[in-house]
Amino acid sequence: MSGNRPTVRVAVFGAGSWANRTHIPNLLKLEGVEIVAVCDVNRQAAEETAAAFGISNTYTDGHALLDAGGIDALFSCVPAYARVDVEAAAAERGIHLFSEKPQATTMAVARRIDEAVARGGVLSTVCFRERYRPIFQEARRLLAEREVTHVRFISAGGAPGRRAQVSGDSWHHDMDRAGGRAFDWGVHAVDYIRFMSGLDVAAAQAFYHHPPAYVSPLSCSFNLQLSHGGTATLSFFAGTSQDPWFTFYFDGGNLAIHRYDRITVNGDTVYEAEDFDPWLEQDRIFVEAVRRGDGSAILNDYHDGLYSLSPVLAGWESARRGGECLDVAAFMGA
């Protein structure tokens, strides 16, 4: 116990970079949190993480972790392809679920976890952390009275590795498991478009340019129809760009979000951001929600996250089908 505040007992599932660099350090900053165990299929990774942060128990099997009991919340930090049944089993046992994004590589797995969350009656969230960042909240406020006609998102970066130069069998180099930049950043982009505009995605189409010599695509373009009939494009490519990350167009102008720095409306700066740690804020709010048994301060739950995941998975499938336009609601329920 910490004063009169019940201790929240957390288990961390996955001992990779996000757990070590972000979630575990954040949890250790919060009062009344005990990290009771860490689990990773790689025994060395689990043991090294436990030693680094003074965590008593390590596991290499998620179900053994759950069987040991004494857990209030599971922070699932494994890659999306590795989310098969542990999260669902945790939720059905009444363990609250914090899921890193993307939630899964298939809708079947994501729906199974979602149904378990509902049956277990547990609190849940997906790590769409930027919902907590003030610049995105201010953009949401500024867009509240606008009818968005089009949204453009751009993500430029370095070229992926060439197969001949990549050693080992890291899952990052396997498109079926990693999905490339458009999978990882795509769910972010869709979620923040949804958060800022209040709109969902009705239909999705995508094209990938993936020369065989590269481990992941050089470029990818998503065409989305929004729930009110407007449109959106998501562009991911190897290269450089000075364009804003997000631009929302409406009758009379546009609102642009320039990285985490500023918002402009019709080219004029209307908001400049200060330093803020959305990872810590989301972790704090989730832990407090678990402690109080009240999820009202959580800005998204697992079910809402399906509406950000499904357009990207639908686009991935669209590309496999040569750019076929897919109905997202039907794809979610398929």
Per residue in 209-252, pLDDT (tens digit) is 999 999 889 999 999 999 999 999 999 999 999 999 999 999 99
Determine the average pLDDT of the residues in 96-125: 97
Is the N-terminal amide bond of 102 cis, ω within 30° of 0? yes
Which pLDDT value is given to residue 162?
Answer: 86
Classify domain 130-276+310-333 at the CATH class level. Answer: alpha beta
Q: Is the pLDDT of residue 6 over 50?
A: yes
Q: Is the pLDDT of residue 1 over 60?
A: no
Determine the average pLDDT of the residues in 194-206: 98
What is the domain partition of the chain in residue ranges? 8-128+279-299, 130-276+310-333
Q: Give the Cα-Cα-Cα angle 286, 37, 45 (nearest 5 degrees).
A: 110
CB half-sphere exposure, 130, CA atoms < 13 A: 22
Which pLDDT value is given to residue 169?
Answer: 67
Q: Please name which of 96, 45, 27 lies closest in space to residue 66, comparing C-alpha atoms.
A: 96
Alpha-carbon span 282 to 102, nearest angstrom: 16
Coil, helix or strand at residue 186: helix
Coil, helix or strand at residue 252: coil
Domain at 8-128+279-299, CATH homologous superfamily:
NAD(P)-binding Rossmann-like Domain (3.40.50.720)
Extract the runs of DSSP E, i.e. beta strands, from the chain.
Answer: 8-13, 33-39, 57-59, 73-76, 96-99, 124-126, 148-157, 201-209, 219-226, 231-238, 246-250, 253-258, 262-265, 268-272, 326-327
- Residue entry with tokens 């009275």: 145
Determine the average pLDDT of the residues in 275-287: 98
Determine the average pLDDT of the residues in 163-167: 74
Using 50, 70 and 90 to split pLDDT, how confident is the model at 178? confident
What does the longest C-alpha to C-alpha distance in the chain come to?
Answer: 60
Determine the average pLDDT of the residues in 193-200: 98
Token digits of residue 45: 């990774």
Other C-beta atoms lying within 10 Å of the C-beta of residue 56: 10
Using 50, 70 and 90 to split pLDDT, how confident is the model at 158? confident
Q: Is the pLDDT of residue 334 over 70?
A: no
Which pLDDT value is given to residue 253?
Answer: 97
Cα→Cα distances 173→73, 102, 164, 185, 221, Å? 31, 17, 12, 16, 20
Determine the average pLDDT of the residues in 87-104: 97
Determine the average pLDDT of the residues in 141-149: 96
Q: Is the pLDDT of residue 149 over 90?
A: yes
